[in-house]
Chains A and B, each alone.
Chain A
């Protein structure tokens, strides 16, 4: 079976988060590389921890995603999840002058 990690949105900020289990206790990180992969804990443990965090109103709508372990760390398998992990693939608008934007 493919490796998986748990992801969700933080209730307060709405930002993307991944589940990391430390001694069985859940914490949520924005860094997918810090996530606990389903080989280090059982998927059931992850699921339970995620649901607990949902009940504790830390996160919203948790679900498992498929990942690969590569030399660059943990990488999601779908484009959608890669974009969630990395942020928009475009440059966000910024208040710089036109000249510096064009030079960039």
Chain B
């Protein structure tokens, strides 16, 4: 994990003390809300439906156990005892008081965390693969590149007032677990066709929200030494030409769309020619320095089998289910990757209580080298668990309600906060996710359905990523009533696709039945159990689903 330099620490402390002064002046009335609003947004502080909301950055989703304990402490001391892990791998607190925020930021700074650039029209927290560094299908670890991007983009003077917010995702594996195609810029590490080198496939102009679009590949292969110069060139073109006249047309996706892919590529390449040999060109020593922060831990050499583990697999069906659903193979033999499901019938998706956070930190120390990762599907990951420890870990996770065997299955629902918290919402989303979970919370059914995703957003801003779910749900306000539009066929993975609206919206008390019908059509129509929901949908198209829903 990256460790702050003395300078980094200093910068952060200065920033907190500056904000403390601003809060103080605001509370005394020396700053108006108009003047203060920009300052608080620059520090991740929103004013939401019921209270302030503080968004804390988790760089590319990586947390130490010490940081997790601080997050627990903040939830307990300054909030209502819980936090919300979001689809951008960050954590949000829903109830902080303005006067406490500087103290919260001080506590965060002690463990090298902050809320800078989590809001506003700047380059936001770079997101990545939650399995970075441990995945079997990895081409190269994306984290050193994320860290280089973080350092380049933090306080970048030229890109502090972009036309709109800007999100970058980096994936280093064959399978895309970072949704690179729906970010402003997506970088996929790929092998060169002509040498042993790795470089990037560069996607630009993806995004969700009002106008969902998949990113266009504007460069098939970018040598990694050129990563920052090329990013700088893209951002410059965007900063110059992106629309500032209309907030709905200000994202880079609209610029790429309106300029045309070909022309946009030319503009970037022209800009790049001017700066590619400049100071941002990455040298071997740059890579070596940053990679030093992400060296493999010292893995024990462990056998890839364990008698107690195997016995429990045979004797305890519940354990076997959890292993089947929430465990993934590790690149290191004798180790496994464990998903902690934040999707239960008892808590909103992504919410974690302070006690759970503390317990997760302890489990990370005890079983997983002291690290925790967050995922864009609002779950957590323990990345380095010895196979032999799985039975003990499972017992502890069960007691914490973090062992629901549903990863990437129908009850692993992404839900944005919706109208229960969010000032922009047009409808509630959490109660819908809970109703769907309650209806389908049966292991055999979940298992039979296999790999399928349901995502819910409470308004067109699409924080819940409904466009890229196999089954997407969008809450809309229709003449004062909350209704729900159903979208089918989306995907956020390497086969990324934007789902299509299937027909007129459903009332809140009809939407769960509607989802049930869609699932039933799939189960009746699949040619074999291996054919996933998405495969069946792609084979048959909308017709049979439409027929069942509206026929």
Contacts and interface: CB of A to CB of B under 8 A. Distances in A.
Contacts of B145: none
Contacts of A83: 49, 419-420, 428
Given A80-B419, A83-B49, A90-B431, A98 B400 contact: yes
A89 B50 contact: no
Contacts of B29: 56-57
B98 A13 contact: yes
Nearest to A81: B49
B530 interface: no
A93 B430 contact: no
B353 A93 contact: yes
Given A12-B97, A79-B419, A83-B420, A93 B50 contact: no
Size class of B's contact patch?
35 or more
A82 to B, nearest CB: 10
Interface in A48-104: 54, 56-57, 60-61, 77-80, 83-84, 87-90, 92-95, 97-98, 101-102
B482 A14 contact: no
A16 interface: yes
B81 interface: yes
Contacts of A94: 81-82, 353
A101 B355 contact: no
Given A60-B33, A60-B47, A83-B419, A93 B82 contact: yes
Contacts, number: 93
Given A83-B419, A94-B353, A98-B400, A9 B99 contact: no
A41 interface: no
Nearest to A88: B420
A28 to B, nearest CB: 15
B33 A61 contact: yes
B438 interface: no
A15 B49 CA distance: 8
A55 B482 CA distance: 36
Contacts of B488: none
B429 to A, nearest CB: 10
Size class of A's contact patch?
20 to 34
Contacts of A77: 480
Interface string B341-379: 000001110011111100000000000000000000000
B52 interface: yes
Contact of A89 (B27, B82, B401, B428): B428
A78 B49 CA distance: 14
A51 to B, nearest CB: 12
A12 B99 contact: yes
B502 interface: no
Contact of B346 (A13, A61, A101): A101
A9 B47 contact: yes
- Chain A at the B interface: SS class: loop
Interface in A1-54: 9, 11-16, 54
B419 A90 contact: no
B400 A14 contact: no
A61 B47 contact: yes
B134 interface: no
Contacts of A97: 399
B357 to A, nearest CB: 10
Contacts of B354: 95
A92 B97 CA distance: 18
Contacts of B26: 11, 57
Interface in B1-49: 26-29, 33, 47-49
Contacts of B51: 9, 13-16
A88 B99 CA distance: 23
Nearest to A93: B82
A50 B398 CA distance: 51
B430 A90 contact: yes
6 contacts: A14-B51, A61-B47, A84-B49, A88-B421, A93-B82, A98-B401
Interface of B: 26-29, 33, 47-52, 80-82, 95-99, 346-348, 351-356, 398-401, 419-421, 425, 427-428, 430-431, 434, 477, 480, 482
Please provide the 5 A-B residue pairs with the shortest distance between their CB atoms, ordered closest to farther.
Answer: A14-B52, A88-B420, A57-B29, A14-B51, A93-B82
